[in-house]
């Protein structure tokens, strides 16, 4: 269901084929990684593509429990929940701000200096909003996980402390959207993600995105009639329906930027959905210079 399990592997090729578009991770789940390794990778990307690389950082596992365990280097016990310390270490590497007495203060010689990625904190909870605000980081709220999060975006603004990273709070909202030429076609294409999310909710397992035929049969069965999940929002329909829905979400969160998550079985349908949405929002894909605010994000 994901664009890529390795955002850092896709960012370089995408950035190499564009010239002004910002490209980033949406995002790197830091508990799976060494902060130094993440800093080195995104420093290199920033050096290769100055001013165009974003580093979206998340705290959650981003996958099912078994895959989370498989990603661990040491499997003798569960990993500690030390995300605040990990994030502080990562920012210290990128900003050359580790205290002199820090054990790794003189270890990191980042290859992309003086360039550095713009760091965004991803989240869907009050805790992430508070951390982003207190650290003076831009904040991405996962509406596709929790569509009742507008008050958490406001909490972020209330707790925001200006920093060398950011002088004013900046919010991006990430949400589900799927657009097609007709409402009926859009609803049909959405059955793939509805089935996948229903199974994820009831079994905790990720599956390959099913075909429309498979998903339609599943959703007609008693097991498929269960709600997809509490507080999940999908904006599905024609250009007009999706445009109005996305504008309403942006307004609700007071967001400066929008990230769209689109899951359906057909890759061509997904591409067409992006084209329709870009057109509905007034973005000309042939004029890249107008896309400075647009972002391509892969997700792990």
Say what the pLDDT of residue 293 is. 45
How far apart are alpha carbons 136 and 130 in whole angstroms?
10
Residue 94 within a domain: yes
Residue 76 within a domain: yes
How far apart are alpha carbons 191 and 217 in whole angstroms?
10
Residue among 239, 231, 235, 251 nearest 275 (CA)? 239
Residue among 192, 250, 251 nearest 260 (CA)? 250
How far apart are alpha carbons 28 and 121 in whole angstroms?
10
Residue 86 within a domain: yes
Residue 58 within a domain: yes
Q: What angle do CA 143, 146, 150 make, to 5 degrees?
A: 65
Say what the pLDDT of residue 25 is. 93
Residue 2 within a domain: no
DSSP for 62-81, please give it: -S-HHHHHHH-S--SSPPP-
Residue 1 within a domain: no
Provide the 3-class DSSP secondary structure of residue 247: helix
Say what the pLDDT of residue 77 is. 72
> Residue 169: how many CB atoms within 10 A of its CB?
22
Say what the pLDDT of residue 72 is. 72
How far apart are alpha carbons 126 and 10 in whole angstroms?
30
pLDDT along the chain (300 residues), means of 10: 81 95 92 93 97 94 68 71 92 92 84 95 96 97 93 98 95 97 96 89 83 93 60 87 97 95 93 96 64 45
How far apart are alpha carbons 83 and 35 in whole angstroms?
10
How far apart are alpha carbons 273 and 286 in whole angstroms?
16
Say what the pLDDT of residue 290 is. 40
Say what the pLDDT of residue 205 is. 75
Phi, psi of 295, deg, nearest 5:
-135, 135
Q: How many CA atoms lie within 13 A of 179 on its CB side?
A: 21
Total residues belonging to the chain: 300
Structure token pair of residue 131: 């951390």
Number of domains composing the chain: 1
CB 122, CB 142: distance < 8 Å: yes
Structure token pair of residue 134: 């207190």
Question: Helical H runs in 160-266?
Answer: 183-189, 191-203, 212-220, 239-253
Question: What CATH number should be reported for the domain holding residue 165?
Answer: 3.20.20.30
Say what the pLDDT of residue 258 is. 94
Residue 265 within a domain: yes
Say what the pLDDT of residue 1 is. 66
Q: How many CA atoms lie within 13 A of 89 on its CB side?
A: 22
Structure token pair of residue 160: 């925001």
Each residue of 187-222: b (16+ CB within 10 Å) or e? Answer: ebbbbbbbbbbbbbeeeeebeebbebeebbebbeee
Distances (CA, A) of 13 to 8, 22, 261: 10, 13, 20
Domain boundaries, position 48: 7-298
Long-range contacts of 214-223 (CB under 8 A, 24+ apart): 215/191, 215/265, 216/188, 216/191, 219/191, 219/194, 219/195, 223/198
Residue 184 within a domain: yes
């Amino acid at each position: 269901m994901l664009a890529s399990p390795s955002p850092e592997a896709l960012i370089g090729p995408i950035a190499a084929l564009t010239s002004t578009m910002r490209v980033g991770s949406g995002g790197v789940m830091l508990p799976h990684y060494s902060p130094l390794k993440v800093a080195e990778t995104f420093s290199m990307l920033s050096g290769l593509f100055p001013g165009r690389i974003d580093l979206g950082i998340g705290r959650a596992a981003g996958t099912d429990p078994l895959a989370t365990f498989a990603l661990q280097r040491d499997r003798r016990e569960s990993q500690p929940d030390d995300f605040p310390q990990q994030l502080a270490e990562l920012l210290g590497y990128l900003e050359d701000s580790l205290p002199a007495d820090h054990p790794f203060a003189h270890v990191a010689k980042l290859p992309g200096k003086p360039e550095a990625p713009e760091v965004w904190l991803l989240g869907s909870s009050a805790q992430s909003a508070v951390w982003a605000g207190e650290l003076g980081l831009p904040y991405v709220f996962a509406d596709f996980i929790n569509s009742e999060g507008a008050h958490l975006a406001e909490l972020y603004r209330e707790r925001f402390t200006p920093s060398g990273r950011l002088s004013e709070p900046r919010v991006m909202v990430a949400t589900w959207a799927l657009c097609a030429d007709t409402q009926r076609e859009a609803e049909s294409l959405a059955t793939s993600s509805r089935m996948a999310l229903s199974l994820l909710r009831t079994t905790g397992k990720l599956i390959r995105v099913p075909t429309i035929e498979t998903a339609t049969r599943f959703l007609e069965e008693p097991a498929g009639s269960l709600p997809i999940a509490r507080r999940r929002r999908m904006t599905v329909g024609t250009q007009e329906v999706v445009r109005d829905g996305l504008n309403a979400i942006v307004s609700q969160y007071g967001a400066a930027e929008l990230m769209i998550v689109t899951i359906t079985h057909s890759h061509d349908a997904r591409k067409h959905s992006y084209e329709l949405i870009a057109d509905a929002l007034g973005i000309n894909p042939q004029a890249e210079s107008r896309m400075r605010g647009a972002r391509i994000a892969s997700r792990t």
